[in-house]
Chains A and B, each alone.
Chain A
């Protein structure tokens, strides 16, 4: 563009006019169709990505057209709910609950477990919505459907599950015992870790055998997936754990266990205080106040004798 600016501009418009006049309409239609191909391809890829995300993050609690599980059935959700709200909800449920969103509050009341923050990117959210829309609309949904969780789990051994929970037995693929983060009734008075929720009532909360199995297969929460995505539990281990959690399924911890824990805490405190008192028995307890008290005592004694 080295020539005069205004004259160049005029020349270009002139050229365009000539082009429109000369290029046949058919060409234009063909070009438009060609341009749409990538859009179609993208849509297909998005649904594919969505299927992966759904399988790993959502299928633990949701179905598409197979009825309520831990969470609601998502069939047709993209048409009944506002897509903008859906996107925000999937991206960060806790933000909406915190903000007091009415729909969110209703869901929290209706379902036993609040949906965790899954840490999905906005691309993932769009993809999974596209996938849900696609699955809701087509008959194929019933054929292909979400992954394994609905398959009947193998029968579990609660005893082995307990060992896995407390770390007496190793997980096949590595991975820490549940107890390092979770507590549950029936593993002794001290209980387990407090990073994750107490699992005493988990069997009911997470939707029984099927719900727990799908949860532990897909491990949707960010904290757990960080640990388990690279070293998943085997179906047999999941069944054993489910069996153990089911066995201990009571609505709250028995009072006796809490009392035992409190007693242990008091005994430990007393022992620690005693050790400290013994170790530092020769500590300096103040100099001036005892000195003055002693001198006053001697003085008073002397004075009393004289009078």
Chain B
């Protein structure tokens, strides 16, 4: 047993309102530099939709992630020999058009235009060529189903749906969609790390944050192709690749990452997980249908004395163990089992989990008015899952590698919590019916109460359980502190730049 700590994230999609505040917070802190204009370390996508970059989930095109090859994993991108052949020309890179051509506006023209009959306009200027341009795409071009005949209908996850389901969804699309905010998943088995020929990408030992060394990066861009979530980006100005750093400077000082901190809907949770590193390969090799369960199994119980003992032997501090015991991620992912990894079939073991949205909203329109009386009796409400307008299969394609039963379980539990609280507060459902719902959802009144509390009424301290980062002890494991101390700090860091 090789217990390690991982900072893990949970996004509660039912609460996301798609305001992009997270993206802007991130942009303003990290990617407002030259060469990073097109990067969105945090972005919010509308589902159904093609996302950013366009159809990033389609690994037949982008070649990201791992493939199970017998009892071994191999990169979908390339093997060693192929990698050598492709080292000076990586054939699997997204073009800038697959992201979008970044632009600004000639704001000066609004103020300096000569007097005339027409309103002055600010023309869009490409941030790549510096010349006026026609905007053809943006980072959230299909936001709120914009251009859905082109974008939403090309969602990769729709391929698994039957013709009937597709037609159904097509009708539904006029009413229903949901948002999918994405950051780097800080995977347990990251394929970007495996794809890098320079060994520039690493996973921090003490918290599992995946980082790209700006000194070692040599611009091969294999990580850009290798990451199935397309969350590493190439900075054309510095000639280095960059990615979400989970705001580690903020984490180290006890603050939540900027996108978490600024989230308006408070959908984001962050906490430690303890996992068994010996079982990473076994987990990543699990059968597709079993991937989600395998990922739950690798996460260890932070209250188990054996686990605590092994964690301490690995240098995990008491504060970290306490944080893991108090972690909202542990509760959502393992204890309650209602948060699921995004596209586990890429086999990178992502450490960002999503609570799937409770679409559709229970209710319907009657004579143009929202009619809550349509919800009559529990039977109909419990059945709402099977009559869900967004097919379970679509969610299964996103969150469980096609295993629909897992999605159903998650929904039954979430519906049970709703019915339980409705019986308590609105009192239009009988206690017996609520009890039946709890049984169907395989949960208890206490658990439902806890899920409700952490979902709807959490404090900042409950959402973000950030342990004290014992950086000095982490350094001590690999380097004598007296060697490290004079070698780091003022005057030694260089800005990333082309140096060859």
Task: Enumerate chain A interface residues (CB-CB to B < 8 A).
Answer: 276, 279-280, 282-289, 291-292, 295-296, 299
In the complex, are the beta carbons of A299 and B149 less than 8 A apart?
yes
In the complex, are the beta carbons of B154 and A295 less than 8 A apart?
yes
In the complex, are the beta carbons of B91 and A282 less than 8 A apart?
yes
Complex: A33 Cα to B149 Cα, angstroms: 111
In the complex, are the beta carbons of B154 and A284 less than 8 A apart?
no
**Which of B61, B149, B150 counts the most chain A CB atoms within 10 A?**
B150
In the complex, are the beta carbons of A288 and B137 less than 8 A apart?
yes
Whether A284 touches B61, Cβ cut-off 8 Å, given contacts A291-B54, A291-B55, is yes
Closest to A284 in B: B92
In the complex, are the beta carbons of A284 and B54 less than 8 A apart?
no
**Which of A283, A286, A288 counts the most chain B CB atoms within 10 A?**
A288
B59 CB, min distance to chain A CBs, angstroms:
12
In the complex, are the beta carbons of A288 and B91 less than 8 A apart?
no
B62 on interface, CB distance cutoff 8 Å: yes
Task: Enumerate chain B interface residues (CB-CB to A < 8 A).
Answer: 50, 53-55, 58, 61-63, 85-86, 89, 91-95, 97-98, 137, 149-150, 153-154
In the complex, are the beta carbons of A295 and B150 less than 8 A apart?
yes
In the complex, are the beta carbons of B93 and A287 less than 8 A apart?
no
In the complex, are the beta carbons of A287 and B61 less than 8 A apart?
yes
Chain B residues with Cβ under 8 A from A289's Cβ? Answer: 97
Chain B residues with Cβ under 8 A from A288's Cβ? Answer: 50, 53-55, 97-98, 137
Chain A residues with Cβ under 8 A from B61's Cβ? Answer: 284, 287
Chain A residues with Cβ under 8 A from B55's Cβ? Answer: 287-288, 291
In the complex, are the beta carbons of A283 and B92 less than 8 A apart?
yes
B393 CB, min distance to chain A CBs, angstroms:
23
Chain A residues with Cβ under 8 A from B95's Cβ? Answer: 284-287
A275 CB, min distance to chain B CBs, angstroms:
11
A interface majority secondary structure: helix
Complex: A243 Cα to B91 Cα, angstroms: 54
Closest to A276 in B: B89
Closest to A282 in B: B91
**Which of A282, A292, A296 counts the most chain B CB atoms within 10 A?**
A292
Chain A residues with Cβ under 8 A from B89's Cβ? Answer: 276, 280
Complex: A80 Cα to B85 Cα, angstroms: 66
In the complex, are the beta carbons of A296 and B150 less than 8 A apart?
yes
In the complex, are the beta carbons of B98 and A286 less than 8 A apart?
yes
**Which of A276, A287, A296 counts the most chain B CB atoms within 10 A?**
A287
In the complex, are the beta carbons of A283 and B150 less than 8 A apart?
no
Complex: A282 Cα to B154 Cα, angstroms: 21
Complex: A295 Cα to B55 Cα, angstroms: 14
Closest to A292 in B: B150
Which 10 residue pairs across A and B have the least CB separation, nearest first? A283-B91, A288-B54, A295-B150, A280-B91, A286-B95, A287-B98, A287-B54, A288-B98, A284-B92, A289-B97
Chain B residues with Cβ under 8 A from A299's Cβ? Answer: 149-150
Given contacts A282-B91, A286-B98, A288-B137, list 9 more A-B pairs with CB under 8 A: A279-B85, A280-B89, A284-B61, A284-B91, A288-B50, A288-B53, A291-B55, A295-B154, A299-B150
Chain B residues with Cβ under 8 A from A286's Cβ? Answer: 95, 97-98
Chain A residues with Cβ under 8 A from B53's Cβ? Answer: 287-288
Chain A residues with Cβ under 8 A from B98's Cβ? Answer: 286-288
Chain B residues with Cβ under 8 A from A296's Cβ? Answer: 150
Selected from B63, B92, B154, the residue in CB contact (under 8 A) with A291 is: B154
In the complex, are the beta carbons of B50 and A291 less than 8 A apart?
yes
Chain A residues with Cβ under 8 A from B86's Cβ? Answer: 280
A-B contact pairs, 24 of them (CB 8 A): A276-B89, A279-B85, A280-B86, A280-B89, A283-B91, A284-B61, A284-B62, A284-B92, A285-B95, A286-B95, A286-B97, A286-B98, A287-B55, A287-B62, A287-B98, A288-B97, A288-B137, A289-B97, A291-B50, A291-B150, A291-B154, A292-B150, A295-B153, A296-B150
Complex: A68 Cα to B76 Cα, angstroms: 74
Closest to A293 in B: B150
Chain B residues with Cβ under 8 A from A295's Cβ? Answer: 149-150, 153-154
Complex: A123 Cα to B437 Cα, angstroms: 104
Complex: A4 Cα to B62 Cα, angstroms: 94
Complex: A292 Cα to B94 Cα, angstroms: 16
Chain B residues with Cβ under 8 A from A285's Cβ? Answer: 95
A292 CB, min distance to chain B CBs, angstroms:
6
Chain A residues with Cβ under 8 A from B153's Cβ? Answer: 295
Complex: A283 Cα to B61 Cα, angstroms: 9
Complex: A297 Cα to B365 Cα, angstroms: 35
Complex: A210 Cα to B361 Cα, angstroms: 102
A283 CB, min distance to chain B CBs, angstroms:
3
B182 CB, min distance to chain A CBs, angstroms:
17
Complex: A299 Cα to B154 Cα, angstroms: 13
Complex: A283 Cα to B53 Cα, angstroms: 17
Chain A residues with Cβ under 8 A from B92's Cβ? Answer: 283-284
Complex: A289 Cα to B93 Cα, angstroms: 15
Chain A residues with Cβ under 8 A from B137's Cβ? Answer: 288
B57 CB, min distance to chain A CBs, angstroms:
11
Closest to A285 in B: B95
A25 CB, min distance to chain B CBs, angstroms:
72
Complex: A295 Cα to B150 Cα, angstroms: 5
Closest to B62 in A: A284
Closest to B92 in A: A284
A299 CB, min distance to chain B CBs, angstroms:
6
Complex: A287 Cα to B100 Cα, angstroms: 11
Closest to A286 in B: B95
Closest to A288 in B: B54
Closest to A296 in B: B150
Closest to B56 in A: A287
Chain B residues with Cβ under 8 A from A283's Cβ? Answer: 91-92
**Which of B53, B63, B154 counts the most chain A CB atoms within 10 A?**
B154
Complex: A289 Cα to B95 Cα, angstroms: 10
Selected from A279, A282, A284, the residue in CB contact (under 8 A) with B93 is: A284
B353 CB, min distance to chain A CBs, angstroms:
27
B8 CB, min distance to chain A CBs, angstroms:
31
Chain A residues with Cβ under 8 A from B62's Cβ? Answer: 284, 287
Complex: A291 Cα to B85 Cα, angstroms: 29
A286 CB, min distance to chain B CBs, angstroms:
5
A295 CB, min distance to chain B CBs, angstroms:
4
Complex: A296 Cα to B151 Cα, angstroms: 11
Chain A residues with Cβ under 8 A from B94's Cβ? Answer: 284, 287
Complex: A87 Cα to B62 Cα, angstroms: 68
Chain A residues with Cβ under 8 A from B93's Cβ? Answer: 284
